[in-house]
Amino acid sequence: MNKHAIVILLLISSVKLFGQQTLLLSDAVAAALKNNYEILIEKNNYSVDEINYNASQNAVLPTVNLLGSDIQEFNNVNQKYSNGSEVNQKGAGSNSLSLGLAAEFPLFNGFRIYATKNKMEELLAEGENNLNAQIQNTIAAMQFQYFNVIAQQKYLSALQQSLKLSEQRLDIAQSRKDAGLAANNEVYLAQIDMNNSRQATAEQELIISQAITDLNNILNFPADSTYTIEDTIILNGTINYDVMKNMLLENPSFIALNYAVKASAWTEKETKSYRLPSVALIGGYDYLINRSDAGFFLVNQNYGPYIGVTLNVPIYNAGIYKSQYEVSQLNTENLRLQQENLLSDLDASLYKAWISYENNLKQLELGKENLTLAKLHADLELERYELNQSTIIELREAQQVFEDVNYKYVTILYNAKASEIELLRLTGKLTP
């Protein structure tokens, strides 16, 4: 993602969300981009890189300084001259006033200016991709939690349906007892099961509340913010592993490390330049005036422009520059190794996410079929129980199967979506 794309993302994030009753996925992404602390920190880091880059562009310009001093002294003077005269004065005052304008223009410094400019350019690109990586990570973390809330809501819906079955079962058991067709223990068991269903529903509501709190934390919303989320999880279904594998090199963290390696290589050249001679053009204007109450000169005044060339040749510094250069070479090598290691990790993570995605997609169709069958089975057992053709135990088993099938389906659906999000994150393709 280039700089303009990042700017667009951050502009999108200006959308205001508070006051809305429904939090859409696009709203959640916008809020995360605007409010997430990690993104704000990375934006500041990128701004630092921009400042350093702009400063490096001015390194070829001359430096100009205005210098000045005004020194007042009081001295005891004892002077003897060759003609036999003598001056003795206590507390003789003297004043030295100097003003100057000094400029220095580097002509050659071992190509250090050129190396620094290029290094800052690479660091700016690294910072841009670090920001993009944080955007990708934040969007992924937000979507993981957003779809987790939806998955938990779907399971809550299944538990609420199961609770209705428990209530119907209690009504039937009570009716059968009143008609003398069932004993009290059947009613007691139905009542216990209904209470358990209510407890399970309340526990699931707590899980959803905690999941929303975690989502609020990512979005930097107040912890007690409440809203509804549409209970829809749509899968892409067209992701191709070979295509995703070829896009691994577009991972922003990998690209950022690539720029870091380049910046480190320029640091090597920058460090090496200190071992080379440097030449600078200097010039300026000086004004100097000395006044004294005693001495040979009562007033001494000098002023005028000057120009010249300075040469600095490093001869010996106890091997400091050599050591710094060797360290910079090792730093570059370490960054290359980190880049290779990151690519290996990305490749493994991509494959793991892919096999999870593919496996969950295969299970999803069976899960849908089981949902239908479990609902039909539970309804049928309720009808048979009402007609006194099955036992309360059989109905309880059908109800439990209905809950288990729904839980498994929701888990498979969420895992498939989470794997899809991870595949897109690894390739840097998550968008609002």
In this structure, is residue 8 part of a structural domain?
yes
Do 257 and 372 fall within a single domain? yes
In this structure, is residue 46 part of a structural domain?
no
Say which CATH number the domain at 378 has: 1.20.1600.10
pLDDT (average), residues 209-225: 94
Instruction: Supply the range of the domain harboring residue 101.
Output: 62-108+277-313
The answer to whether 114 and 276 are in contact (CB under 8 A) is: no
In this structure, is residue 432 part of a structural domain?
no
| Residue pLDDT, tens place only, 48-106 | 999 998 888 887 788 999 999 988 877 777 777 777 777 677 777 788 899 999 999 98
pLDDT (average), residues 184-188: 89
How confident is the model at residue 424, as a pLDDT?
Answer: 95
In this structure, is residue 51 part of a structural domain?
no
Say which CATH number the domain at 286 has: 2.20.200
Do 163 and 117 fall within a single domain? yes
pLDDT band, residue 214 (cuts 50/70/90): very high
In this structure, is residue 55 part of a structural domain?
no
Q: Is the pLDDT of residue 6 over 70?
A: no
Do 203 and 272 fall within a single domain? yes
How confident is the model at residue 298, as a pLDDT?
Answer: 75
How confident is the model at residue 61, as a pLDDT?
Answer: 83
Do 149 and 189 fall within a single domain? yes
DSSP-derived pairing of the beta strands 278-292 and 86-108: antiparallel
pLDDT band, residue 5 (cuts 50/70/90): very low
The answer to whether 234 and 414 are in contact (CB under 8 A) is: no
Share of the chain above pLDDT 90, in %: 66
| Residue pLDDT, tens place only, 309-322 | 999 999 988 889 88
Whole-model pTM: value is: 0.82
DSSP-derived pairing of the beta strands 63-80 and 86-108: antiparallel
How confident is the model at residue 294, as a pLDDT?
Answer: 65
Do 207 and 72 fall within a single domain? no
In this structure, is residue 54 part of a structural domain?
no
How confident is the model at residue 88, as a pLDDT?
Answer: 76
Q: Is the pLDDT of residue 13 over 80?
A: no
Do 225 and 357 fall within a single domain? yes
Do 292 and 359 fall within a single domain? no
pLDDT (average), residues 5-28: 60
How confident is the model at residue 210, as a pLDDT?
Answer: 96
Do 217 and 148 fall within a single domain? yes
Do 339 and 226 fall within a single domain? yes
- Give how far Cα 143 sits from Cα of 196, 212, 233, 363, 419, Å: 32, 12, 11, 22, 11
pLDDT band, residue 432 (cuts 50/70/90): low
Best CA proximity match to 103, nearest among 314, 310, 311: 310
Q: Is the pLDDT of residue 15 over 60?
A: no
pLDDT (average), residues 35-50: 92
Structural domain count, the chain: 2
| Residue pLDDT, tens place only, 303-362 | 999 999 999 999 988 889 889 999 999 999 999 999 999 999 999 999 999 999 999 999
Q: Which amino acid is at 74?
A: F
Highest mean pLDDT among 16-20, 89-93, 214-218, 287-291: 214-218
- Give how far Cα 285 sits from Cα of 68, 96, 106, Å: 12, 17, 18
Do 104 and 117 fall within a single domain? no
How confident is the model at residue 1, as a pLDDT?
Answer: 46
**In this structure, what are the phi and psi dihedrals at residue 244, rounded to the nearest 5 degrees?**
-65, -40
DSSP-derived pairing of the beta strands 63-80 and 278-292: unpaired
- pLDDT mean across residues, the chain: 89
**Where among 260, 291, 313 does a domain terminate?**
313
To the nearest 10 degrees (0 to 180), the angle between helices 112-178 and 25-35 is 140
Do 18 and 126 fall within a single domain? yes
